[in-house]
Amino acid sequence: MWGAGSIREASGLSNRQKGSSLAEACGWVVFVSESVIIRKATSEDLQAILVIYNAATQEPASAYEDKPQTLVQREEWFDYYSKRNFPIMVAEHDGIVVGWGSLGPHQERAGFRFTGSVAVYVEKMYRRRGIGSLLLKALLEAGRQRKLHTVLAVIDSKNGPSLGLHRQHGFVAAGVLKEAGCKFGEWRDAVYLQYTLDDRPVPEV
């Protein structure tokens, strides 16, 4: 099993296969465990990201989508994040993308500029191996680099593994939106979790 405790910054692993080249190529921090590399996503990863996301759309407690997305939609999403310098990370195992995560804006209004929204998806057969933990740690570090103050996650109330993952990393419950989602003919409750990155004072206007 791949444990999150073995994470080290890639900059300290220059002799590891791929480690140094990825560290040089990535604008965001890169984490490496024994078997998994977490790196910044590129446009070449979009097909794999799409497959993993669309698989999640078929699960009742994940990804509130009525139908699978297209590659064009993922390309537009990727461009939106890239232009705003928000991170999209992928987890790579033996050269194969097996998970991904993103940290984007909570809302576009200026008053929310210090708040981000995080999402993590892992291919089903690779879950419970610490990959989600690796991705989430990398995204939180990216949030600190961006000088964000707080990060939100919106998770279905019945998605126990995802709720557990985020709580394990220090997220706390911030509220529940009852029947906020609708999927497969059922109302879904959405749980808001929050992680505070620092204790800075309120910025001056």
**Mean pLDDT confidence for 134-145:** 95
Residue 167 lies in a domain: no
Residue 90 lies in a domain: yes
Given the structure tokens 């709580």, which residue do they identify? Answer: 167
- Is the per-residue pLDDT at 2 higher than 50? no
Rounded to 5 degrees, what angle do the CA atoms 25, 27, 30 make?
75
Domain that holds residue 102: 4-148
Angstrom CA distances, 61 to 122, 145, 171, stand at 14, 31, 19
Give the pLDDT confidence score for residue 203 in this predicted structure. Answer: 82
Contacts of 34 (CB under 8 A, 6+ apart): 2, 6
Give the pLDDT confidence score for residue 139 in this predicted structure. Answer: 96
Q: Which pTM does this prediction carry?
A: 0.83
Give the pLDDT confidence score for residue 204 in this predicted structure. Answer: 75
Domain CATH number, residue 98: 3.40.630.30
Residue 87 lies in a domain: yes
Residue 71 lies in a domain: yes
The least confident of 22-31, 135-144, 156-165 is 22-31
Residue 165 lies in a domain: no
d(CA 136, CA 42): 18
Number of domains observed in the structure of the chain: 1
Give the pLDDT confidence of 38-81 residue by residue, as tens digits: 999 999 999 999 999 999 999 999 999 989 999 999 999 999 99
Residue 172 lies in a domain: no
Give the pLDDT confidence score for residue 198 in this predicted structure. Answer: 93
The least confident of 9-23, 136-150, 155-169 is 9-23
Give the pLDDT confidence of 78-126 residue by residue, as tens digits: 999 999 999 999 999 989 999 999 999 999 899 999 999 999 999 999 9
